[in-house]
Amino acid sequence: MKKAFLILFVFTFCNQITFAQKETTIVTLKNDDKAPTINKNIYGHFAEHLGRCIYGGFFVGDTSKIPNTKGVRNDIIAALKELKIPNLRWPGGCFADTYHWKDGIGPQEQRPTIVNKWWGGTTEDNSFGTHDFLNMCELLETEPYLSGNVGSGTVQELADWVQYTNFSGKSPMSDLRKKNGRAEPWKVKFWGIGNEAWGCGGNMTAEYYAGEYRKFATFMSDWENTGGITRIASGSNSGDYNWTEVLMKNIPLNMLGGIGVHHYAVINWNKKGDGVDFTEEQYFKTMQSALKMEELVTKHGAIMDKYDPEKKVAMLVDEWGGWYEVEKGTNPGFLYQQNTMRDAVLAGATLNIFNNHADRVRMANLAQCVNVLQAVILTDKAKMITTPTYHVMKIYAVHQDAKLLPVSFQSPLYTVNGETLPAVSASASKDKNGAIHISLVNVDAKNKNKIEIDVKDLGVKNFTGTIITSAKLQDYNSFDTPNKIVPTAFKGFENKKGKLEITIPPFSVVVLEGK
């Protein structure tokens, strides 16, 4: 009798699994006049003095045979302009709280060296400094986001940096800027007051940092430029909700333009796993960590709402991405890792979370831009390739400054070893020209998913699609096969009387456009 019951249970359970896989996920989009605009700065990037991000990445020097503009690679500039990056964070990261900006101005041959104590113990010559970075941002047509030194710097040093970059009148710092060849100020808007103050930025308590922030912010002013500057507090380490609570409670809102959150998708900090040779179980664990972003944004946002119900203070997830062991044979302090379809899925699902929380999340910075962690660009001497993550951010760029269309649906589940995750991730927006864009991610590594979306009331009829997918989760673009993973036309959908019926393959990212 027990045996018969067990057979019946297994048969029923298997049938339920099969049925669940065949079920259609109904996604509802809403035209909501009160919905927020998806701030383009959610699609920001990060360039730290770390490994080969700056030296050997962005910057090769003006004597290099690699085509460059004042030492910055032309191919990287072109690729990032195509990506429409809205902002770029620099010089760190942990490096920011050891960086003294005056060491990086003036004639290059006269600049002192610095030992990068955080990343590999390398000696840098400060040949890439404030002018080089801000001029590069002008080439990129992107907003600079400067991280100020609070850990080992002074209030005067940071106040001087603001004056040096932003003040057009006569002052000691503007005179120095002009002496160094730049007549007009750059008008830098975004300023981070320290980085990871709870860790490499000084191992401070939340209460102590709140006091330091108030002191530094008091002396950072910009009376000339419209809107002044946006002062950004060093935010929490992932789920440290007390950090956010203390800062929101103890810093006056008129001194606080934004507050950060840092979260990396990591299997285990002591055993991160390989960037390419990973199992489905490791993929699942990575996505489990990545999708925790939904909880983090929601809970940090609830704390901010308590003190700032009008949502005047922005949440900035100014470090996010996947973190694995470095590629075999590379310097462990340089954090160089490959970029697979796992990273494409991770990026698409994370950006959907940010889009859907656009009322509070108004900036984010993928870590990092070139040759470090979940990079969008990798270089090998004169060679350059774009990664699957690059292509996700490229096809998602349609959401920048578009009006959010709130989505609602009950996701099917992706199950590995008895643990489950939502298999489907989605966000949608309507741009200024009336075009509708729907981003869909299938997190499931084995099963396709069927999705139905009613679009009758959206005022669009003709849809096209783009997909990023590959044969294996572990596939990546290499210097020998740089175009193994690129966006291609997606045909796996039909528009039946105003209802889109979509079949999305395993571990893939899709963007649909309706006009």
Every domain of the chain and the residues it spans: 23-33+406-514, 40-401
Q: Is residue 228 very low, low, confident or very high in pLDDT (cuts 50, 70, 90)?
A: confident
Calpha distance 59→92 (Å, rounded):
16
Q: Which of 304, 281, 299 is nearest to 240 (CA)?
A: 299
Give the helix/strand (H/E) hosting 172: helix 172-179
Cis omega (within 30 of 0) for bond into 388: no
Q: Where are the alpha helices (DSSP H) in 219-312?
A: 241-250, 280-290, 293-307
pLDDT grade, residue 31 (50/70/90)? confident
> Is the pLDDT score of 7 beyond 70?
no
pLDDT in the model for residue 17: 38
DSSP string across 77-108: HHHHHHHT--EEEES-SGGGGG--GGGGSS-G
Query: pLDDT confidence of 16, banded at 50, 70, 90?
Result: very low
Question: In angstroms, how far is CA 65 from the centroid of its own chain?
Answer: 31
* Cis status, amide bond into 91, omega within 30 of 0: yes
Task: Give the CA distances from residue 284 to residues 265, 324, 339, in Å, rounded to whole numbers and listed in that order.
Answer: 11, 14, 16
CB-based contact 340:285 (threshold 8 Å): no
Cα separation, 155 vs 218, whole angstroms? 9
Are residues 87 and 190 in contact, defined by beta-carbon separation less than 8 angstroms? yes
Tokens for 480, please give them. 């020998």
User: For the segment 405-453, what is each residue's pLDDT rounded down to a tens digit?
Assistant: 999 999 999 999 999 999 999 999 999 999 999 999 999 999 999 999 9
Residue 111 to residue 127: CA distance in whole angstroms: 7
Kindly report the number of other CB atoms within 10 A of residue 197's CB atom: 28
pLDDT (tens digit, 9 = 90+) per residue, 58-90? Answer: 999 999 999 999 999 999 999 999 999 999 999
Mean pLDDT of the chain: 94
DSSP letter assigned to residue 325: P
Residue of 319, 335, 337, 376 lying closest to 75 (CA atoms): 376
The CATH superfamily label for domain 23-33+406-514 reads Golgi alpha-mannosidase II (2.60.40.1180)
CA distance 364 to 373: 16
Of residues 416, 462, 463, 483, the one with CA closest to residue 443? 416
Task: Provide the token pair at 417.
Answer: 């070893």
Compute the distance between CA of residue 491 and CA of residue 466 in angstroms, rounded to an integer. Answer: 8
Catalytic residues: 196, 319
- The SS3 of residue 193 is strand
23-33+406-514 and 40-401 have identical folds:
no
pTM for the whole thing?
0.93
Q: What 3-state class would DSSP assign to 218?
A: helix
- Per the omega criterion (within 30 degrees of 0), is the bond before 368 cis? yes
Averaged pLDDT for residues 489-505: 94
CATH topology (fold) of 40-401: TIM Barrel (3.20.20)
